[in-house]
């Protein structure tokens, strides 16, 4: 449950790997030039989503539903198994068969093959651009069809950004949430205190702290250029009042705010406070450096919580700093879709399961067990999550940011742009403004070809 298509995020986080957008390649270019990178909001619920469907009949007998997902390791695996077991106990006529994959790239490849061979599962995790493709091919059914209404009761309880992310540009409700995450900084709190550093509240303060922390063999932070490096550029741009894409998916890579964000990252790199690590999928150089006490900060999603803990020092979690336009963060976490090829009974069972997954009590179990954020504020006060929130005060603020967090628009060319952008941006020694200009032109050509 982490990012979209080529914005494939690492399996156990809410950040992406393999996404060669403008910033992706730009961070790599910054690494080269230093030695000689925000998405628009998701489509809001459209007023035209007024389709009223006939509710599916309830499950009338034993039925098995198959669920393709990537929660295949660590606490993600064990927590999902616990929730499924409790669901099956409460719904004895429904059996949930989990089909786990090691990552989103693998999942998407498998889903594409299954659709081609007419062997699609009942339901699966999917990112927005995938769902747009599936919907255009009539491969999935709208959630409104399953619920018998365009406005299921649960919608009103979801955080605003979570709710908006469930719709595609046609205004229909095609997806349903399980859990979401936003970006935060994990940091070596023990060393932070020894260095007499204070938690930065602005990105200007962060640069000062990062440079101060980069001594004695420590580089403040290391990024995977196709994951948290790209994400950092988007967040910096958004925090200062702009975005890398407009709401319709048009690239805005040459806007002054994006250029300034790229220059900010280059300045950190030049000062020895930011290093560029491997860009391979599922690579976490920032986490590795921090846990190895060679880094101070790791920009990651809340879903990385259990992976960021150390036996050698106390790991702290801090909200992102503010820019001139305030605090901005990117939301991640795949949604769920239900396939049209499933039988009516399977679809009814899938909707029952989806409602169960999104209920406050199960969201509390999921969030406290995995580090994801609940999709509804009601989960924060559930007994199953109360102790986790008490021990991790950042959770409340992070969850509240789900009301305003951004995601990239769900258009195919936003994903397709990555190859064009990577080629354009990996021009050794190119200044940020020029590199972004080249990427802008390449992305516009890709957009025109895809439309």
CA distance 175 to 131: 8
Residue 124, CA atoms < 13 Å, CB-side half-sphere: 31
In this structure, the number of other CB atoms found within 10 A of the CB of residue 278 comes to 14
**Average pLDDT, rounded, for the chain:** 86
Residue 12 lies in a domain: no
Task: State the burial class of residue 80 (Cβ atoms within 10 Å of its Cβ: 0-12, 13-18, 19+).
Answer: buried
CA distance 52 to 47: 13
∠ at Cα 59 (152, 349), nearest 5°? 55
Residue 5 pLDDT greater than 70, yes or no: no
Q: Is the dihedral of CA 299, 303, 304, 309 positive or negative?
A: positive
Residue 214 lies in a domain: yes
Residue 27 pLDDT greater than 90, yes or no: no
Domain shared by 257 and 280, yes or no:
yes
pLDDT one-digit tens code per residue, 406-416: 998 888 788 77
| Least confident residue range of 29-38, 65-74, 265-274, 354-363 | 29-38
Residue 287, CA atoms < 13 Å, CB-side half-sphere: 21
Domain shared by 113 and 88, yes or no:
yes
Could you tell me what percentage of the chain is helix, strand and coil, using 3-state DSSP and rounding each to the nearest 5?
Answer: 45, 15, 40
Residue 151 lies in a domain: yes
Q: Does this model's pTM top 0.85? A: no
CA distance 188 to 128: 34
Give the model's confidence band at 431: pLDDT under 50 very low, under 70 low, under 90 confident, else very high. Answer: confident
The pLDDT value recorded for residue 50 is: 46
Domain boundary among 392, 418, 434: 392
* Token representation of residue 175: 């997806």
Domain shared by 307 and 437, yes or no:
yes
Residue 263 lies in a domain: yes
The pLDDT value recorded for residue 15 is: 40
Domain shared by 108 and 202, yes or no:
no
pLDDT one-digit tens code per residue, 225-284: 877 888 898 899 999 999 989 988 999 999 999 899 989 998 999 999 999 888 787 789
What is the average pLDDT across 153-164? 96
Domain shared by 368 and 426, yes or no:
no
Domain shared by 194 and 312, yes or no:
yes
Indicate the DSSP class of residue 59.
P
CA distance 331 to 302: 10
* E strand or H helix that includes residue 64: strand 63-69
Give a three-class secondary structure readout of 153-215.
Answer: HHHHHECHHHHHCCECCCCCECCEECCEEEEEEEEEHHHHHHCCCCCCCEHHHHHHHHHHHCC
Residue 16 lies in a domain: no
Domain shared by 141 and 207, yes or no:
no
Domain shared by 308 and 368, yes or no:
no
* E strand or H helix that includes residue 355: helix 344-357
CATH number at residue 413: 3.40.190.10
| Least confident residue range of 98-107, 178-187, 276-285 | 276-285
Closest C-alpha among 365, 280, 350, 297 to residue 103: 280
Closest C-alpha among 248, 253, 164 to residue 451: 248
In this structure, the number of other CB atoms found within 10 A of the CB of residue 292 comes to 10
Domain boundary among 392, 417, 442: 392
Give the DSSP letter string of 204-261: HHHHHHHHHH--TT--SEEE-TTTHHHHHHHHHHHHTT--SB-TT--B-TTSHHHHHH
Residue 7 lies in a domain: no
Q: Chain-centre distance of CA 276, in angstroms?
A: 21
Domain shared by 313 and 209, yes or no:
yes
Q: Chain-centre distance of CA 450, in angstroms?
A: 24
Share of the chain above pLDDT 90, in %: 65
* E strand or H helix that includes residue 36: none
Cα→Cα distances 124→43, 116, 342, Å: 21, 16, 12
Domain shared by 77 and 159, yes or no:
yes
Residue tagged 């540009």 (tokens): 169
Residue 25 pLDDT greater than 50, yes or no: no
Give the model's confidence band at 438: pLDDT under 50 very low, under 70 low, under 90 confident, else very high. Answer: confident
The pLDDT value recorded for residue 418 is: 63
By DSSP bridging, strand 63-69 and strand 123-126 are parallel
Cα→Cα distances 116→110, 129, 153, 179, Å: 10, 18, 34, 28
Residue 202 lies in a domain: yes
Closest C-alpha among 122, 47, 68 to residue 342: 122
Yes or no: say if 77 and 71 are a contact pair by the CB < 8 Å rule: yes
CA distance 186 to 298: 5
Residue 337 pLDDT greater than 50, yes or no: yes
Q: Is the dihedral of CA 223, 228, 231, 232 positive or negative?
A: negative
Containing structural domain, residue 117: 63-180+333-392
Domain shared by 200 and 288, yes or no:
yes
Total structural domains in the chain?
A: 2
Residue 97 pLDDT greater than 50, yes or no: yes
Domain shared by 133 and 204, yes or no:
no
Indicate the DSSP class of residue 278.
-
Closest C-alpha among 124, 134, 188 to residue 354: 124
Give the model's confidence band at 447: pLDDT under 50 very low, under 70 low, under 90 confident, else very high. Answer: confident
């Amino acid at each position: 449950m982490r990012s979209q298509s080529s914005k494939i995020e690492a399996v156990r986080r809410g950040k992406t790997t393999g996404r060669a957008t403008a910033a992706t390649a730009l961070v790599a270019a910054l690494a080269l030039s230093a030695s000689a990178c925000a998405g628009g909001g998701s489509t809001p619920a459209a007023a035209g989503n007024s389709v009223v469907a006939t509710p599916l009949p309830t499950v009338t007998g034993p039925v098995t539903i198959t669920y393709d997902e990537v929660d295949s390791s660590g606490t993600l695996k064990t927590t999902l198994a616990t929730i499924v077991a409790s669901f099956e106990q409460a719904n004895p006529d429904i059996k949930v068969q989990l089909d786990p994959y090691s990552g989103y790239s693998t999942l998407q490849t498998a889903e594409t093959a299954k659709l081609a061979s007419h062997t699609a599962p009942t339901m699966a995790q999917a990112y927005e651009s995938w769902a747009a493709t599936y919907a255009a091919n009539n491969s999935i059914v709208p959630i409104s069809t399953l619920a018998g209404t365009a406005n299921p009761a649960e919608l009103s309880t979801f955080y605003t950004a979570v709710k908006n992310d469930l719709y595609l540009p046609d205004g229909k409700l095609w997806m349903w949430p399980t859990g979401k995450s936003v970006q935060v900084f994990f940091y070596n709190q023990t060393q932070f205190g020894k260095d007499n550093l204070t938690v930065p509240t602005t990105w200007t303060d962060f640069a000062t702290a990062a440079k101060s922390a980069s001594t004695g063999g420590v580089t403040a932070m290391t990024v995977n250029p196709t994951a948290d490096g790209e994400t950092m550029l988007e967040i910096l741009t958004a925090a200062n009042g702009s975005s890398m894409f407009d709401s319709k998916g048009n690239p805005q890579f040459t806007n002054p705010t994006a250029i300034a964000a790229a220059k900010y990252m280059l300045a950190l790199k030049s000062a020895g406070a930011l290093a560029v690590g491997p860009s391979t999928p599922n690579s976490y150089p920032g986490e590795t450096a921090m846990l190895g006490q060679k880094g101070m900060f790791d920009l990651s999603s809340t879903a990385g919580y259990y992976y960021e803990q150390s036996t050698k020092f106390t790991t702290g979690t801090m909200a992102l700093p503010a820019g001139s336009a305030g605090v901005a963060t990117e939301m991640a976490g795949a949604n769920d879709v239900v396939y049209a090829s499933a039988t009516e009974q399977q679809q009814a069972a899938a909707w029952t399961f989806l409602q169960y997954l999104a209920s406050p009590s199960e969201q509390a179990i999921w969030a406290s067990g995995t580090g994801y954020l609940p999709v509804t504020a009601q989960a924060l006060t559930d007994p199953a999550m109360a102790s986790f929130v008490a021990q991790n005060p950042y959770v409340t603020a992070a969850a509240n940011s789900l009301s305003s967090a951004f995601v990239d628009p769900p258009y195919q060319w936003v994903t397709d742009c990555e190859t064009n952008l990577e080629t354009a941006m990996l021009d050794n020694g190119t200044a940020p403004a020029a590199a972004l200009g080249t990427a802008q032109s390449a992305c516009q050509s890709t957009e025109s070809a895809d439309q």
